[in-house]
Amino acid sequence: MNAHQTNHIADTSLTGGLVDLIARKPVSQADLDAAALFTLDAIANVLAGRNSVPGEILLRWWRARHNSNIALDPSQLAFLMGGLCHILETDDLHRESVVHPGCVVIPAAWALARERGISGRLVLESILQGFEATTRVGMAVGAAHYRIWHNTATCGPYGSAMAAAALLGLSREETVHALGNAGSQSSGLWQFLETGAMTKHLHAGRAAEAGLKAAELAAFGFTGPARILEGEKGFFRAACPDANPDAVLGAPDAPWQLTRTSIKPWPSCRHTHPTIDAAEELRVKLGERGEDAIRSISIGTYQAALDVCDRKAANSDYEAKFSLQHSVAAALLYPKVDFDAFGDAARARCANLALRVSVQAAEPYRSAYPRAWGGSVELTLTDGTVLSATRTNAKGDPEAPLSRADMIDKALMLFAHGKVREPERLVDGILGLASDGALPDLSLF
């Protein structure tokens, strides 16, 4: 195939169209401010993730392979940061794509900008572009993909490649090559849920690393498949039986998808959050009557939540974070659903109540997903009283957003969990990126 044919394919491919769509989107100061808050959330998750068993393993692995006399490879640093960011289950989530963009895009952008001394505004613009790429691909993969494949892992490389391409100043053609090679590395299966293995963190780190490396190679002329999405042997054909390719380029004038991304207030799988929110309301209604007054609990949700989080018995912190039953029990029994609510003591306390929980896919939540992630909780008490609460959207969704103060408070909570010194300095430094400030030093290791 000659260069003219290659360029024509790039011009007419979905990937080429995605690069063009992103290039045409205007960036306002409000967009930059939003990107800075999402960056704060992701970096807080990175630093808090160090205080965990998987985080300690990742850091031991890193220290065994690196010393202070060797310059950091940005793709390897992106891998480490991505893995750490996704450990505590408090990172962001884009509902319609079921992708966690921040744990992939922001580590890649941060690692590359750190190496090259790139200023804050350009970093935030690259993050906006990376979120756009990964979520638009994610919105196109279809529901069947998510039953086997982890969307953050499979769609994430497109986002990290897009962010890196922006920071590297790649041409349109080079960016298409970068996305093509990033997409060819799409992988990540849900099998780890069977045993609660640590694989999910590897997914985020690998997606961040894969896209960044693909962009770096494209800068040297390394080519990739333009039709990686729609080709006969491409991503959609291989792994997306009900793909909707039109979603990649749909609604080109919509707001940046970063502003349509949700922030998690609780450290558990996002699918548990609508019912945690509803259960917290019921805890107040229950008042002094306590656990013994509850005969049974019924949860209404959507099918994807059942596929991932239907787990009556939780034998580890991680399994508890992926258990609708435990999460609702914890929200009913504890005044605050924080990291401790998923620990050994909390699992022991919640185990009996969790056994009284039944879960089912129910309307209107089943049909509304993935446009809206809602749920309901109904308590039947021993005296026959029924208490119920419903949520159309989860707290932290664009329709029920956290405030700027809420976001800062959450970051400070995560920094405290990660034993970060001078957390206010980091908050000011990261939010200052929107005013073109320099990247603050993370003291990651």
Q: Are residue 319 and residue 239 in the same domain, yes or no?
A: no
* Tens digits of residue pLDDT in 253-280: 999 999 999 999 998 999 999 999 999 9
Q: Are residue 189 and residue 61 in the same domain, yes or no?
A: yes
- Residue 397 is assigned to a structural domain of this protein: no
Domain count, the chain: 2
Q: Are residue 239 and residue 322 in the same domain, yes or no?
A: no
Digits of tens for pLDDT over the chain (445 positions)?
A: 555 555 666 678 999 999 999 999 999 999 999 999 999 999 999 999 999 999 999 999 999 988 766 678 999 999 999 999 999 989 999 989 999 999 999 999 999 999 999 989 999 999 999 999 999 999 999 999 999 999 999 999 999 999 999 999 999 999 999 999 999 999 999 999 888 899 999 999 999 999 999 999 999 999 999 999 999 999 999 999 999 999 999 999 999 999 999 999 998 999 999 999 999 999 999 998 989 999 999 999 999 999 999 999 999 998 999 999 999 999 999 998 988 999 999 999 999 999 999 999 999 999 999 889 999 999 999 999 999 999 999 999 999 999 999 999 999 989 999 999 999 999 999 999 999 999 999 887 7
- Residue 112 is assigned to a structural domain of this protein: yes
- pLDDT of 83: 98
Domain around 152: 3-264+402-435
Q: Are residue 78 and residue 163 in the same domain, yes or no?
A: yes
Query: Is there a cis peptide before residue 370, judged by omega within 30 degrees of 0?
Result: yes
Q: Are residue 24 and residue 130 in the same domain, yes or no?
A: yes
- pLDDT of 363: 98
Q: Are residue 98 and residue 245 in the same domain, yes or no?
A: yes
The answer to whether the CB of 394 falls within 8 A of the CB of 324 is no
Residue 71 CB neighbours (<10 A) = 7
List the CATH number of the domain containing 31.
1.10.4100.10
Contacts of 328 (CB under 8 A, 6+ apart): 272, 275, 276, 279, 297, 299, 354, 357, 377
- pLDDT of 126: 98
Q: Are residue 311 and residue 423 in the same domain, yes or no?
A: no
- pLDDT of 196: 86
Q: Which residue has the tokens 């393993």?
A: 57
- pLDDT of 370: 84
The closest of 189, 124, 91, 104 to 410, measured between CA atoms, is 91
- pLDDT of 10: 63
Contacts of 190 (CB under 8 A, 6+ apart): 147, 148, 149, 150, 308
DSSP string, 142-166: -HHHHHHB-HHHHHHHHHHHHHHHH
For residue 39 the two structure tokens come to: 């960056």
For residue 14 the two structure tokens come to: 């979905």
- pLDDT of 7: 62
- pLDDT of 69: 62
What is the DSSP secondary structure assignment for residue 336, as one 8-state letter?
S
Q: Are residue 133 and residue 274 in the same domain, yes or no?
A: no
- Residue 396 is assigned to a structural domain of this protein: no
Q: Are residue 147 and residue 99 in the same domain, yes or no?
A: yes
